[in-house]
Structure 1
């Protein structure tokens, strides 16, 4: 019988590995860590200590250190919570005998205590609340103590020697020797001599049993010890390298860099700054084990079977106190005489909507006029200018084209009169021109390439000429023409091949430029999956360069869902960290730098939190801080940042009956403005020069010596939600799925000055202006009356307060911003 030793990497700064998984089959293996398996859903069969057990929902079993075990699924799917921790927490002379199959009514409370500890640890790992590491360590020690008190058995000498076979006994000796002597010089030869084996035999024996070569295992042990020393001691890096058995610090740095993609010094600095070394390493993960064949499952509702063991008083205390806890303080020292640095408000250049036909509706136009009056965007982008519902293209019985620009004129006339210009997305295909019948969205946009490229070219040519004749070259040359939408999503938005799109783009772009070289054309409105997944970008630009196809700008889209890198194993994490949007821009810039067109204009022509147009998060106060965070984080990196979209008058899928259903829009279909809308209003009040900027704030200056201080408290979704467990998100409860960060304090000091200020404070948070929260407080009416809608409209929006600051007064004040909250101060000089 063969076994596999599993080397377990602890997560971040805790001596544990805690994860949720589904098991298909785990072959015989062992590890030095103690393992607790809790069945959240379904059932498994586990072989441990020479016996088979079938565990069902709510069952628990403890697998001791170095116990060989195997796990198999039954005829039911399963979801497991697994905790692996260091055996150093237990008495080495005792083992744990814990299996809930032996639970009795009298012992239920003792087993429930284990479940309660696991529930608390899972919650701490997911929420990342202030002090989570300390709480988790305390819970771990309490759990270990509980196991020792109620489930430990004394190991007799006979039982200590009762191993499955001699090879395991030998391997056990070797691993324990390494664990106790890692700081000393250990060689393969010395261990072979100790076991009275030849070097060649022992080398193969070790590799066969462990799965990795001896030296690699030894290095892994030493690195594990070094990480603990970096976290828990003040010893120098050189001292730690020597203490952990590395020959010199250069070798230590080399191996550490290979494994953790950072240096020991940078690792320690990141810990000191309370920043994770690797943003992909999560405290609670849904992941694969090195010894198991795991597959993705739907974990919604799974954690509820565990969380019911949280004591109600504990759960409510955490929830109620999170918003009153101060988790961070920020100092902002303002010099009103600082010149500041000019910048471009890239978030206010381009807005978006669903499709052209919606723009002919009265409710759409009313909302747009309100948006444009308050925010004043430069351009607008939407799909479907050539959709059948716009009645642009038909053919006679002989196949001759018939063009009709009536609806296009009606829409463009309205937009230009409102002071905004088209960012024309040339999509989708008129059905009379499509070579096949594939469509997308509820309104059936045809995604096929043209059956006749020349007829498509003629349509584009006549469209451009009509626009020039109606509006003039000076006007149309300020428009942008984007060829198609996400053609990299083959079979979704484009029913042709990659090469067919490249050729389609080149023909379309050359057609536009042939009318006037002043017209700006680009694309491809690429999905972010291709940005992270393959070389689509490089191939597209290389094609344009080789064929001399015009390309004035590059457009792309970004959302939070994980893009599934090809070079990685399949991951269950579905939402990316909050740096993902900036990381995507940086990645694209690096790709462009290696092409013939390194300085292309970049336009993110779609972005939002989720790709899903029914994500209930979209209506919440979270989206206000989300918008501000990404708008400020991406400053100076691209030409436009186009939020998708400005309104819920939007019909990619059938419209639900609920009033606040999680649509993409800044406004709902009734015209109620969401926190995301007001985030743009507050951003619009910033000045045109940056005085200072830091984590969670920006200070700007404007005309006549005005100052603006924008502060926000961004809290990301927690790990359970990011990993696909949406059980905490319901129509009426939408905030339990976020990290519990607590309040943030901003301490502002303004140097002495010669004049006074009118200080206007705008506060936007769950208690001040969030329409969803106001709707809940109103009673969450499913079909609000006109009176109720007017009430919600009146209650939504930032609270505004004004105070006067005399010239002799010194501004020094601490402002508290709750999670998801935004606070803007504007200081207007008074002479």
Structure 2
């Protein structure tokens, strides 16, 4: 039996794995990677092919790729395993994957003692750097890895002829069997399968393997499956049935039987005993005890960066700044109405409502041709059909979402011309007859009231779509169209809430028109994206440049290629400018909404999938939640078809859920926000602290890292599927909270979203970034990309101090819940 404390999977873009393990019973390995094993304490017995090596403290051995070996121990031990993916270095050094190395400290002599000291020095320094993770550690770690590789190539390479002569035919055959098992252990493997692969008799295969390895082949396969299952038990919260089937066992019963035979307990008990022990224990290594020479002096190295100063904040639990208005969960948004008829999107809506719970939902195109609402007969008379509308709204109300109805787009038979945006051909023409349009709107609103009742529909919002003004920024026709549409809704029921979306650059004109015409809006809606045009062109010029020809593509998304990401305060500044203009004109507006916001409205912006978006979301919500009545992130799902769809799962879709239901970091950020209390204790630029009526405390902290360049080009070619973080000025952050006014026993819960936890995209990178994933791989990603969660009990007497380190883009939630004892 072994247990593992995995330290790191990747060092930058270098595929390196570092493990600290304790071995209790014999474990078998066949790894496609090069492995360096360093004994930290105790002793272990390593069997490699037909040889045995007893390693003690400070011994190191190298295992070449695809070589079968086992590790056994009967004493307390701790080993450090460094796994190196040779394929990566094959791109840097010709034929690196064909090299074979010989490194075993049991063979140290006077001629090679310095070489072994250098190898061990570099390994220890690499481990120390990766554990401490001080600023700049990735740069130092990369340098150490390269130094290690150069040492292996120059000092420990086995001559190719010597390596060929030393090949043992029996070992080669055994390794072929093991490679087959390693490749297919998750499947149902029979002796017949192996014998066909090896072109040998099945009974011979069984006897041969048992003789060479000292273990029956069936037992070896079972042990391998158990070994792989242990990783899932320790490193994930998957259900045990799922772990059993995923690792090749035909059913749960056979898994339990094999597990108890080897480990003497059930998988559940193993997980409870050892997993809790691992998660709660911290890795403490005394690096000073390793008296090795030639450890590089990085204290004066230019790569050594000074650590960030710790930010310290005092939080008085008896204070309350303001009520926390959770405007960010008022409105959910998705692409268009017809997508709401798809079961895939409906399942995602159900999930979001269960996990977060929104009040309203907004989408495009409820009046578009896809919803079959408007047609004309042979004589040109208008005909209405609200069947699809009813089906959609019935579903939304069933899952407790009220509609935030955008009145658009123009049905083709009612349109004056064919003028399209989006790949799905949303018509933004004015109507050929305003009289017919007004009658259509009145009929639509009357139908809603007749079906759902006035009391219900009065709670909804009716937003007049603004897409018509894309081509008519100076056209008085849009103002008239807006006024007529507004009047048609109010004519049916004056109490209905009607508003419009306005562009910041034209807001002054809109406001003056509304005042002159005595149009009393119930709300104003705006949209804002964190991008700015390149050069001197403003956004309206860009829209006009691409808006004169109908090419079935989203105009704004065409113009994004000519834009850059804005500075980190852009969203807040835009919202403030809207509010200032409304205040300047003394416009009597009951409610103010941001109905669309994001970095960009592009569904091919590769940054959408990354951890960056979690900290971007939390930062902007914390900055602006109290300025608006609702702020809707655009949009919640990657099921979104304004432009051509992509086959890649992590293609930069807008949503916080992928097409196939994988949750992105921003999804978990929503869940963290949802756990915040109702009263704000303190709010700063990098955290918000709240309190609930049960006296529980919540602190949501984040480490937002902006772009290295002041103006980073959108859709830049240097942001690729596999390389998306290099554009950010990434720095870790040390933060400290001093809580005053808390005493007694509490439970401290800690949740984290970062590249290691809660990021499906980063997990996808770790498994090799496959273009297509089967069901097992999708389920693996879903299970592995959950946020980190830890908890502990504390007895507080005096100030309670929390010291934490936030990785770049990390979002962290701390919950402190008092324990009430029954007397």
Aligned partner of 1:753 in structure 2 is 742
- Higher mean C-alpha displacement, 495-504 vs 394-403: 495-504
2:762 is equivalent to residue 773 of structure 1: yes
2:492 is equivalent to residue 515 of structure 1: yes
Question: Which residues in structure 2 correspond to 1:663-682 (within 5 Å)?
Answer: 663-682=653-672
Cα distance 1:445–1:632, how it changes in 2: closer, same or farther (>3 A)? same
Q: Report the alpha carbon displacement of residue 334 of structure 1 after superposing the two structures with TM.
A: 2.1
Give ranges in structure 2 of 5+ residues lacking alignment. 1-133, 137-297, 543-561
Q: What is the alpha-carbon root mean square deviation over aligned residues?
A: 2.5
Aligned partner of 2:198 in structure 1 is none
Question: 2: CA distance between counterparts of 1:710 and 1:642?
Answer: 20
Cα distance 1:801–1:638, how it changes in 2: closer, same or farther (>3 A)? same
Question: 2: CA distance between counterparts of 1:692 and 1:781?
Answer: 44
Checking the alignment, whether the CA contact within 8 Å between 1:487 and 1:526 is kept in structure 2 is: no
Aligned partner of 1:558 in structure 2 is 528
Aligned partner of 1:351 in structure 2 is 332
2:785 is equivalent to residue 796 of structure 1: yes
Question: 2: CA distance between counterparts of 1:729 and 1:437?
Answer: 36
Question: 2: CA distance between counterparts of 1:538 and 1:791?
Answer: 52
Q: Report the alpha carbon displacement of residue 638 of structure 1 after superposing the two structures with TM.
A: 1.2
Aligned partner of 1:540 in structure 2 is 510
Q: Report the alpha carbon displacement of residue 810 of structure 1 after superposing the two structures with TM.
A: 4.8
Question: 2: CA distance between counterparts of 1:433 and 1:709?
Answer: 53
Q: Report the alpha carbon displacement of residue 608 of structure 1 after superposing the two structures with TM.
A: 0.8
Aligned partner of 1:698 in structure 2 is 688
Cα distance 1:586–1:130, how it changes in 2: closer, same or farther (>3 A)? farther
Checking the alignment, whether the CA contact within 8 Å between 2:743 and 2:795 is kept in structure 1 is: no
Match of 1:499 among 463, 476, 500: 476
Q: Report the alpha carbon displacement of residue 809 of structure 1 after superposing the two structures with TM.
A: 6.9
Match of 1:708 among 679, 698, 704: 698
Aligned partner of 2:444 in structure 1 is 463
Question: 1: CA distance between counterparts of 2:629 and 2:332?
Answer: 13
Cα distance 1:331–1:486, how it changes in 2: closer, same or farther (>3 A)? farther
Cα distance 1:598–1:519, how it changes in 2: closer, same or farther (>3 A)? closer
Q: For 1:370-427, what per-residue CA distance to the aligned partner results, in whole angstroms no more than 9, with x for missing partners?
A: 0111111110100010111100000111121111111001100000000010100111
Checking the alignment, whether the CA contact within 8 Å between 2:314 and 2:739 is kept in structure 1 is: yes
Aligned residues: 504
2:810 is equivalent to residue 821 of structure 1: yes
Aligned partner of 1:605 in structure 2 is 595
Question: 1: CA distance between counterparts of 2:782 and 2:502?
Answer: 37
Question: 2: CA distance between counterparts of 1:557 and 1:426?
Answer: 16
Aligned partner of 1:647 in structure 2 is 637
Q: Report the alpha carbon displacement of residue 356 of structure 1 after superposing the two structures with TM.
A: 0.3
SS at match of 1:410: helix
Question: 1: CA distance between counterparts of 2:563 and 2:370?
Answer: 39
- Higher mean C-alpha displacement, 504-513 vs 801-810: 801-810
Question: 2: CA distance between counterparts of 1:354 and 1:564?
Answer: 27
Question: 1: CA distance between counterparts of 2:810 and 2:760?
Answer: 13
Q: For 1:237-265, what per-residue CA distance to the aligned partner results, in whole angstroms no more than 9, with x for missing partners?
A: xxxxxxxxxxxxxxxxxxxxxxxxxxxxx
Question: Which residues in structure 2 correspond to 1:121-160 (within 5 Å)?
Answer: none
2:416 is equivalent to residue 411 of structure 1: no
Checking the alignment, whether the CA contact within 8 Å between 1:395 and 1:401 is kept in structure 2 is: yes
Q: For 1:487-520, what per-residue CA distance to the aligned partner results, in whole angstroms no more than 9, with x for missing partners?
A: 4422xxxx68631111111111111111111100
Match of 1:627 among 606, 617, 624: 617
Question: Which residues in structure 2 correspond to 1:71-470 (within 5 Å)?
Answer: 326-470=307-451
Question: 1: CA distance between counterparts of 2:529 and 2:537?
Answer: 20
Aligned partner of 2:568 in structure 1 is 578
Checking the alignment, whether the CA contact within 8 Å between 2:366 and 2:406 is kept in structure 1 is: yes
Question: 2: CA distance between counterparts of 1:725 and 1:540?
Answer: 33
Cα distance 1:130–1:761, how it changes in 2: closer, same or farther (>3 A)? closer
Checking the alignment, whether the CA contact within 8 Å between 1:477 and 1:518 is kept in structure 2 is: yes
Q: Report the alpha carbon displacement of residue 560 of structure 1 after superposing the two structures with TM.
A: 1.5
Q: For 1:717-754, what per-residue CA distance to the aligned partner results, in whole angstroms no more than 9, with x for missing partners?
A: 221761568243110111011113x1111112222534
Q: For 1:30-67, what per-residue CA distance to the aligned partner results, in whole angstroms no more than 9, with x for missing partners?
A: xxxxxxxxxxxxxxxxxxxxxxxxxxxxxxxxxxxxxx
Q: Report the alpha carbon displacement of residue 678 of structure 1 after superposing the two structures with TM.
A: 1.1
Q: For 1:657-689, what per-residue CA distance to the aligned partner results, in whole angstroms no more than 9, with x for missing partners?
A: 111100100100011011111111111111111
Aligned partner of 2:170 in structure 1 is none
Question: 2: CA distance between counterparts of 1:725 and 1:467?
Answer: 42
Q: Report the alpha carbon displacement of residue 466 of structure 1 after superposing the two structures with TM.
A: 0.8
Checking the alignment, whether the CA contact within 8 Å between 1:506 and 1:550 is kept in structure 2 is: no
SS at match of 1:428: coil
Q: Report the alpha carbon displacement of residue 460 of structure 1 after superposing the two structures with TM.
A: 0.9
Question: 1: CA distance between counterparts of 2:804 and 2:387?
Answer: 54
Question: Which residues in structure 2 correspond to 1:588-603 (within 5 Å)?
Answer: 588-597=578-587, 599-603=589-593
Q: Report the alpha carbon displacement of residue 568 of structure 1 after superposing the two structures with TM.
A: 8.6
Aligned partner of 1:526 in structure 2 is 502
Question: 2: CA distance between counterparts of 1:478 and 1:343?
Answer: 22
TM-score for the superposition, normalised by structure 1: 0.58
Question: Which residues in structure 2 correspond to 1:14-53 (within 5 Å)?
Answer: none
Checking the alignment, whether the CA contact within 8 Å between 2:429 and 2:468 is kept in structure 1 is: no
Question: 1: CA distance between counterparts of 2:787 and 2:817?
Answer: 19
Give ranges in structure 1 of 5+ residues lacking alignment. 1-128, 132-313
Cα distance 1:359–1:665, how it changes in 2: closer, same or farther (>3 A)? same
